[in-house]
Structure formats: C-alpha cells, structure tokens
Amino acid sequence: MRDKPTKVLVVEDDVDDRSLVAALLEETDLDVVEMNTAEDALDFMRDHGDQVAMLFLDGSISGRYDGIDLARAVSVQWPNVRMVITLPDPAYRADEMPPATLMPKP
C-alpha cells in the first residue's frame, strides 16, 4: 500500500505572498514546501511528486515556465495532485488552464 501524500507545494515568486500562503497552509496536516519558480517546482515534483497532495501556485510567475505551464505539466504527470491557481487576471491563458480551483489575486 502506498503512503498518503503529505506535502503541499507553494510556488510564488513574491516572498510576502508566498510566506502568507505558507503560514496559512501550515495550519493543515500537510508539510509545506516553498518554491520561487516553476522550474524549481518541476524539479521537486520529479523527485517527490508521489508525496505531493496539493499545489498552490501563482499562475503568472515569471521564468522559463510560468505557473500555467507548471500546472499543465503537473496535471498530466501527477493527475491526483489538487491545484489552486491564483491569477491577477482570470482570462490569463484561460484556454490552456488545466483542472484547478482558481482564486483571484488582489
């Protein structure tokens, strides 16, 4: 029997936003892992994807890949990982959005 996933991955390039989300999620039973970029998050998922229950990410983070690229990759390779995606504009790449809970970003 496989162990139940125990981690939540928070991917946000704004330190204050990431710290706030991490602090809130630390109130759950999940272990919070913080990442600054989609690239770092994908590397983490490759090594620990079976341990991740949830991904909380900024859909518009900058870098080689943005948050939507990360969400799409996770939805294909780790389809059981639940996702919450924050976006400043709900129309941002809406046609490419994988199944996720969307949250407006102030």
Going along the chain from its start, the domains and CATH numbers come out as 7-104 (3.40.50.2300)
Which tens digit of pLDDT belongs to each residue from 25-75?
A: 999 999 999 999 999 999 999 999 999 999 999 998 988 889 999 999 999
**Which among 33, 84, 42 is positioned nearest to 59, based on CA atoms?**
84
Quick one: which H or E segment has residue 35? strand 31-35
Collapsing DSSP to helix, strand or coil, 52 comes out as strand
Q: Hey, what amino acid is at 43? A: D
Give the per-residue pLDDT at 91.
78
Q: How many residues does the chain have?
A: 106
Q: What confidence category does residue 2 fall into, taking pLDDT thresholds of 50, 70 and 90?
A: low
**Which among 69, 95, 66, 99 is positioned nearest to 81, based on CA atoms?**
99
Q: Whole-model pTM? A: 0.90
Give the per-residue pLDDT at 104.
86
